[in-house]
Amino acid sequence: MSNVEKRLAEEKKHMESITAPEELEIRLRSALNTATPKRTKRIPQIWKIAAVLFIVLVISGNNYNAFAYYGKQLLGFDQLIHGTLKQLNDEGMGQSIEKKTKLEDGTDMMVNAIMSDANQLVVYYTLTNPNGIKDNTGAFFTPTRISGFLTNSNTVSGSTVINENQTEIKGMMTFDGVSPFSKELTLHFWQSLQNGHRKEGAISFSYNPNEALQTEIKQSIQKEFKFDKGTITFDSITATPTLTVINGTLHVEDLAKIGHGLGGMDVLGGIKLMANGTPIALIGSDIQLSHGTEFYNFSIRYDSLPKQLDSLDLVIKEFDGYQKLEEKLSLASVADEPFTLDGKELWVKSVSTTSQGVEIKIVTNEDVRPDGISIVTKSGTTPLKTTEHNQTKQADGRLMEELTLVFDTLTEPDYLLIEGMYYLKAYNEVIEIPIE
């Protein structure tokens, strides 16, 4: 068999496995049933296969997204849709649902449309009550998850907007991606009752996985980044039209002690994704305990990638660092001048004794967290009992971290002991992601 014939045979087999969307099949079947039968001419088998190949090439050239359109833009959600989602909506991408149910207080709840890809499911919904929606914050209706065949997707984020008459709420909620084998999805939600209690509700609707937007990049990374107190392993990247997700694992002794001060976001907020040398907007991240007590699975969510992609990098310019100190600070008097800890400043603002024990207030740079704190008294050494964190603004406009340290003793301390400190450290690490 020649290469051409082999290629044609493969494409014929592939074409036979493609299933048309139900609405298209119904229209075609209806047209065939009403058409007048005509005599057909016998066509050589090789030309039939060639015709199949032509159709496959046409469909492939359009990314098989021809059926992933509303047919028109989703209207009424302008205040909720921005950036990438707005662009996709302007292009008419998504799946119209228009499924309605009634809440306990008589409010009509409608799932208007969804937008789905491998990374996330976006649900657009409307709450309507001509008598007015009393809780105009939308808290009386709280979507919680999406279920379906091989699907149990949790909420990620959401937002709502209410009209001037407070009779209609438009909402948008994002969930984890759903299974491509699901043909029906169920939106679960909580609704508030008049007696102050809550009741769970649900609404099911048909889902066509063929209308999900196609994944643009899905590949392994398998690169490590070592910082002072742990290791990050970047496992994979999945880029879709709505979102870009980096998955990996974090190995750290104490997760609670790292991450403070990283751009005001979270532990992984200091990791930048650069496409063509330009940062991609950070959406958020999740961290979950994996096995044992030192391994965590994580995912970092960024905005979608540009269509023209020449380079892709993960940049860790600054991340959590640790410096061993073994500092012994005198508490004989509270001074206006700060102590200097490896180039970082720390002020002791007050030392007092309360019914809870000795209480010391200190102020540090926003990115500094003292570690291994204790006090020395005439009775010996007393470890830290509790810590309270507060931000404070200095006269020069700087944001500082105020720590209230409580020690379980009533004896006046002579010294404050600090074993080390966590701080924001410059690493300037670049991890190149190959573009396949």
The domains of the chain, with CATH numbers, are: 3-32+43-61 (no CATH), 83-211 (2.60.40), 217-322+426-432 (2.60.40.1640), 323-422 (2.40.30)
Q: Looking at this protein, which amino acid is placed at residue 424?
A: L
Average pLDDT over residues 314-339: 88
Q: Is the pLDDT of residue 78 over 90?
A: no
Supply 271's token pair.
């990791």
Angle at 321 between CA 334 and CA 272, to 5 degrees: 125
- Residue 236 corresponds to which tokens in the numbers above? 């994979």
The DSSP code for 4 is H
330 has a pLDDT exceeding 70: yes
And the tokens for 193? 């009752």
DSSP structure class, residue 69:
B
Q: Strand, helix or coil at 117?
A: coil
Q: For residue 18, name the pLDDT band (cuts at 50, 70, 90).
A: very low
Taking the CA atoms of the chain, what radius of gyration do you get in angstroms? 30
Identify the burial level of 109 via C-beta atoms within 10 angstroms of its C-beta, where 0-12 means exposed, 13-18 middle and 19 or more buried.
Answer: buried
pLDDT (0 to 100) of residue 23:
41
Weakest mean pLDDT among 20-24, 61-65, 230-234, 387-391 = 61-65
Give the pLDDT band of residue 260 (cuts 50, 70, 90).
low
**Is residue 182 a contact partner of residue 207, using CB atoms and an 8 Å limit?**
yes
Local confidence band at 337 (pLDDT 50, 70, 90 cut-offs):
confident
Whether 356 has a pLDDT exceeding 70, the answer reads yes
pLDDT in tens, 408-435: 999 999 999 999 999 888 899 999 998 8
Tell me the pLDDT tens digit for each residue of 179-224: 999 999 999 999 988 777 889 999 999 999 988 999 999 999 999 9
What is the CA 58 to chain-centroid distance, rounded? 35
Entry pTM: 0.74
Query: Per the structure block, which two tokens stand in for 282?
Result: 């950070």
321: Cβ contacts below 8 Å, ≥ 6 apart: 227, 228, 422, 423, 424, 425, 427
**pLDDT band per the 50, 70, 90 thresholds, residue 262:** very low
- 9, containing H or E segment: helix 3-16
d(CA 406, CA 354): 9
Three-class SS of residue 397? coil
